[in-house]
């Protein structure tokens, strides 16, 4: 049963509203409370918490708009259901009521029992739906906050674990190197086992380092400041870092920054993006040809775009596309070392700046990464 509060100083009007509402008893029963002043309305509202208030504008001790404001203070946020009743020709007053929180309005002597019933029920349903949406929103906020806390806890755990494991692994590496230097092994199988241990230690050390890098991206220290970054200078720095790998495979790196020689970005983040994309282009090169990589920048739809195109192994995007930027995913495990962290880091950095990455690839032909650096 819905509770209705009639607020009107005219007893005959209140009697009319009661009669009109009770004509709809077969559809919805109402429990009706009455008040003939602002003070009485506040007392009845506090005592009964009605589902809807039919509020006349003209009252002896206040007016409907002022009482509407006071009732909003008595009710929880977004739970007040008020239908304002105004005199004829008071459209401006009705608009003010709606702007101040009334859900609907009626004009005296211009409604019958059906319109009154429909207006009241529509206001009640609208208010209930609003509360449902608000409750759902609060639940989502609580879940999001819990997820954020869980993610922070996981990041902190991974960071601590990768930090704490680094020293024992370094100790193992030192002991292993000393063992290999000082011990003598006559059995060829033992030498092969040493090689496997060496490779496993290297893979473990790389994984720990990559885990630390992933968490470091998620929890940057201090405020990151953007600055004008000259692409040619940054690329020269990255190529110098990769010089041994590039020289070993005779990689051909072509650059074209004519359309966008400089852009505003966090320099360290852009360096990480470029370094990982270039490293992947070389790592996943085609075995039958020397790697050729084209770097270029341009402006698309007023956004800076960095494009890295290679002639490497390529991939099947229909099969691997949804997993392309997931952590620890590798699609060519036979093609050199790696942990599947690079593209995850790149995507996370790009998204942190509001950007996105488009990928085009064909198996056996190569891949193009088109990085929209700001969304």
CATH number at residue 231: 3.30.565.10
Longest distance between any two alpha carbons in the chain, whole Å? 113
Same domain for 355 and 244?
A: yes
In a domain, 145, yes or no: no
Q: In what order do the strands lie in the sheet with 303-310?
A: 252-256, 292-300, 303-310, 366-372, 356-362
DSSP type of residue 322: G
Same domain for 15 and 49?
A: yes
Q: For residue 36, what are the domain limits?
A: 2-138
Relative orientation angle of helices 38-48 and 64-74, to the nearest 10 degrees: 30
Q: For tokens 């994309």, what's the residue?
A: 277
Please report, in tens digits, the pLDDT of each residue of the chain (375 residues total). 899 999 999 999 999 999 998 887 677 889 999 999 999 999 999 999 999 999 999 999 999 999 999 999 998 878 999 999 987 667 888 889 999 999 999 998 888 889 999 999 999 999 999 999 989 999 999 998 888 887 777 766 666 666 667 777 778 888 888 888 887 777 777 777 888 888 788 777 777 776 766 666 655 555 678 899 999 999 999 999 888 889 989 999 999 999 999 999 989 889 989 988 998 899 888 989 999 999 999 999 889 999 999 998 888 888 776 777 776 566 555 555 555 677 888 888 898 888 999 999 998 899 999 999 984
Same domain for 9 and 109?
A: yes
Same domain for 248 and 157?
A: no
Number of domains in the chain: 3
Bridge partners (DSSP) listed for residue 227: 265
In a domain, 55, yes or no: yes
Same domain for 255 and 367?
A: yes
CATH number (domain holding residue 50)? 3.40.50.2300
CA distance 108 to 31: 22
**C-alpha closest to that of 55 among 89, 24, 98, 114:** 98
Same domain for 314 and 350?
A: yes
Bridge partners (DSSP) listed for residue 4: 32, 52
Q: For tokens 């609060």, what's the residue?
A: 138
CA distance 134 to 79: 10
In a domain, 59, yes or no: yes
User: Residue 343's pLDDT is what?
Assistant: 83
Query: Is residue 41 within 8 Å of 87, Cβ to Cβ?
Result: no
**C-alpha closest to that of 157 among 105, 204, 90, 218:** 218
**Structure tokens given for 358:** 């488009």
DSSP type of residue 161: H
As a residue count, the chain comes to 375
Same domain for 80 and 53?
A: yes
Query: Is residue 1 within 8 Å of 51, Cβ to Cβ?
Result: no
CA distance 301 to 169: 48
| The domain boundary residue, chosen from 173, 191, 218 | 218
In a domain, 146, yes or no: no
In a domain, 304, yes or no: yes
User: Residue 214's pLDDT is what?
Assistant: 65
Same domain for 131 and 21?
A: yes
The helix (run of H) or strand (run of E) holding residue 47 is: helix 38-48
Q: Is 193 helix (H, G, I), strand (E, B) or coil?
A: helix
| The domain boundary residue, chosen from 201, 218, 235 | 218
**C-alpha closest to that of 33 among 13, 12, 16, 47:** 47
Same domain for 183 and 206?
A: yes
Q: For tokens 């790149």, what's the residue?
A: 346
Measured CA distances, 13 to 23, 128, 162, 231, 364 (Å): 16, 27, 76, 78, 84
Same domain for 29 and 68?
A: yes
Let me know how many helices (H) and strands (E) the chain has, helices first. 11, 12
Same domain for 124 and 179?
A: no
Same domain for 189 and 214?
A: yes
């Amino acid at each position: 049963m819905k509770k209705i509060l009639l607020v009107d100083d005219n007893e005959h009007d209140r009697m009319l509203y009661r009669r009109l509402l009770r004509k709809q008893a077969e559809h919805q029963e109402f429990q009706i409370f009455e008040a003939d002043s602002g003070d009485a309305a506040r007392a009845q509202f506090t005592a009964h918490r009605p589902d809807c208030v039919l509020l006349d504008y003209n009252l002896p001790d206040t007016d409907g708009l002022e009482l509407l404001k006071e009732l909003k203070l008595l009710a929880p946020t977004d739970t007040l259901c008020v239908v304002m009743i105004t005199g004829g020709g008071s459209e401006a007053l009705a608009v003010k009521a709606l702007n101040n929180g009334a859900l609907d309005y009626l004009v005296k002597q211009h409604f019958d029992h059906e319109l009154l019933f429909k207006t009241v029920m529509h206001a009640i349903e609208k208010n209930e739906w609003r509360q449902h949406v608000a409750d759902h929103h609060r639940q989502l906020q609580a879940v999001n906050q819990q997820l954020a806390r869980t993610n922070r806890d996981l990041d902190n755990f991974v960071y601590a674990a990768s930090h704490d494991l680094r020293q024992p692994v370094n100790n193992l590496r030192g002991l292993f190197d000393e063992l290999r230097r000082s011990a003598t092994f006559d059995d060829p199988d033992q030498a092969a086992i040493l090689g496997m241990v060496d490779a496993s230690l290297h893979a473990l050390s790389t994984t720990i380092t990559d885990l630390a890098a992933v968490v470091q991206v998620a929890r940057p220290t201090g405020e990151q400041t953007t600055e004008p970054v000259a692409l040619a200078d940054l690329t020269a720095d990255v190529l110098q870092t990769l010089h041994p790998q590039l020289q070993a495979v005779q990689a051909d790196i072509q650059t074209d920054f004519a359309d966008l020689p400089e852009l505003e970005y966090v320099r360290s983040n852009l360096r990480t993006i470029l370094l990982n994309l270039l490293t992947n282009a070389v790592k996943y090169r085609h075995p039958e040809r020397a790697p050729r990589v084209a770097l270029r920048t341009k402006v698309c739809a007023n956004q800076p775009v960095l494009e890295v195109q290679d002639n490497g192994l390529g991939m099947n995007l229909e099969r691997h596309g949804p997993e392309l930027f997931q952590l620890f995913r590798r699609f060519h495990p036979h093609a050199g070392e790696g942990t599947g962290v690079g593209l995850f880091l790149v995507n996370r950095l790009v998204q942190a700046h509001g950007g996105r990455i488009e990928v085009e690839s064909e198996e056996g032909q190569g891949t193009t990464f088109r990085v929209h650096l700001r969304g």
